[in-house]
Structure 1
Amino acid sequence: LDNVPEYFALSYTWGEAALCKDITLDGGKVLKITQNCADALRRMMRGKTERMIWVDSICINQSESGLEERGQQVALMDEIYRKAGQVNVFLGVGDAASDTAVMAI
């Protein structure tokens, strides 16, 4: 993590666990992600054609066979977030009540 290009990090609530949205990664690989992750990425990419984004559910092996790797990556998460050029937090799509609460803050 010492000599990496600038990247953004995303912290978001997973929401529904169903992997229901397809995204195409660099290189053409298609990956299924949650609706909340798709919504967060869509907002981060608004107006951008390309952006390097670190997302735990995408960048960390989530399969049962990846338990050792996952443990190593989770241990690095504080450094990953700290060294990101920007960290975006997504709590979910807003509604009238959450919009009112944010305006009150």
Structure 2
Amino acid sequence: MMGIIGQILVGLGAGIFLLAGVGLFRFKDPYSRISAVATASGVGLVLVTAGVLLINPEPGNIVKGIIAIILQLITASIASIVIARSTLISGYPFSENTDTEELEDFG
């Protein structure tokens, strides 16, 4: 039973990565693209790793999986913030539908 749940989680994680890939082509500005990739890398990796741990639940794998999940969640969020900030500082324009009212203080 745990193997089936693990395979479902791996499939869901892969599906999230696929949707993020589609988002890279569909979103109009880098700010939206960064959001899609950072969210997918966090959620997708957690689902895939948890699924693999359910398929093969050995103590060594569990420790490595938890460390991988924690490091991915920390680094993905920091990297996306740094990329979005550098894009904003460089003056790259937002798409016309983006609400930038909160950013007027930074301009």
Scaled to the shorter chain, the TM-score interval is 0.3 to 0.5
Alignment TM-score, normalising by the size of structure 1: 0.33
Query: What TM-score comes out, normalization by structure 2 length?
Result: 0.32
User: Which has more helix, going by share of residues?
Assistant: 2
